[in-house]
Amino acid sequence: DLQQQYRSVLVSQNNLLECFREEVVNIRRQCQRSIVLNNILKNQRYECLAKTEMENFQNIIQQLLNKSKFLETLNEDQIQYINANDIRSNKKILTTISDVDTILERTYFNDNVILWYSSDNMKLEREDEWRQTYQELLLELPRCEPRRKLIYVDFSDFEQKLEYFKIVRFPSTIHNDDKSTSLPPIEINVLLMGETGVGKSTFINAFVNYLKFEKLQQAEQGEPIVLIPVSFLITIGEHFNEFIVKFGDVDQNENYEQQGQSVTQQCKSYVFNLNDRLCLRLIDTPGIGDTRG
């Protein structure tokens, strides 16, 4: 228990300080040698104050803070959160992902929801894919009629490790005149090609923000979505002072530090599920005319 561990650290710290005060007084009176301080530090009672233990404790605290911020983000985006460990079958703790599938299918079979299975490790190890999936699902929600609810199912502390993202949509079929029919999906692939700096990556960023915000005023007030890091130069004032504007996190596939070279280093596709059937894939490519040939 984290609170108990924190209390233990505080108690140990206070005891250690008290021992140090007493022994320092004795050392000054020459009643003790300074080596006694080393002996105190070696006492097992104070192992929790060792550097490695404190670093581990700080890491746990930081992870909890990050998780708290993440839950706030989910709440702001109107995404429901479920911890897989909280899912029960007749008050029994589930141990397999298959068991979770069964319970959730029974619960949401007739509801208009999207279940996204994920975990903290997958969010960290596959950050780009995770972020893109998050944005795609957010864009999909307002275009579903009736509007779907997105539920994030967290397997971070689940007994069975989640090996890959999983997205489950309910209802899984479209009902028409009491007959269940499944319509084939429609996929549209768009390959973006052009000279270096013409704005292929910028177009993708603009496109995703166009889907996110219905009005320009909303885009101005909201936080822009940056799928691809961008950098551009603007001039301000009568003296035309130059400023470089940058958006997005550092990405190995996007290098805008070298003039004349393509920012995009390798081809990369961005998939947008526009509704239940229509899927649009924009394929970004390195610029033509790169100075490296």
Q: What is the pLDDT of residue 181?
A: 42
For the stretch 46-82, pLDDT in tens is 676 666 777 777 777 788 888 889 999 999 888 999 9
Q: In Å, how far are 71, 144, 225 from 87, measured between CA atoms?
A: 18, 27, 33
Q: Say if strands 179-181 and 174-176 run parallel, antiparallel, or are unpaired.
A: antiparallel
Q: Across the chain, what does the average pLDDT equal?
A: 78
Q: What is the pLDDT of residue 262?
A: 54
Q: Would you report the helix, strand and coil content of the chain in percent, each value rounded to 5? A: 40, 25, 35
pTM score, whole prediction: 0.50
Inter-residue contact 16 to 49 (CB < 8 Å): yes
**Average pLDDT of the residues in 129-151:** 83
Longest dimension (CA), the chain: 96
Q: What is the pLDDT of residue 250?
A: 62
Q: What is the pLDDT of residue 174?
A: 42
Where residue 176 falls among pLDDT bands split at 50, 70, 90?
very low
The alpha-carbon radius of gyration of the chain (Å, integer) is 28
- Matching residue, tokens 């993202």: 165
Is the pLDDT at 222 greater than 70? The verdict is: yes
Q: What is the pLDDT of residue 46?
A: 67
Ramachandran angles phi, psi of 180, nearest 5° = -85, 120
Dihedral angle sign, alpha carbons of residues 274, 218, 79, 180: negative
**Average pLDDT of the residues in 13-27:** 71
User: Does 142 sit behind a cis peptide bond, omega within 30 degrees of 0 on the bond before it?
Assistant: no
Q: What is the pLDDT of residue 1?
A: 64
Where residue 254 falls among pLDDT bands split at 50, 70, 90?
low
Distance CA 137, CA 5 (A): 39
**Average pLDDT of the residues in 216-241:** 81
Distance CA 243, CA 82 (A): 44
**Average pLDDT of the residues in 90-106:** 83
Is the pLDDT at 173 greater than 60? The verdict is: no
Count the Cβ atoms, other than its own, within 10 Å of residue 57. 16
> H helices within 47-148, ranges in order?
51-76, 97-108, 120-125, 127-140
**What secondary structure does DSSP assign to 196-251, as a single string?**
TTSSHHHHHHHHHHHHH-SSHHHHHHSPPP-SS-EEEEEEETTTTEEEEEEES--B
Selection from 126-135, 179-188, 272-281 with the highest mean pLDDT: 126-135
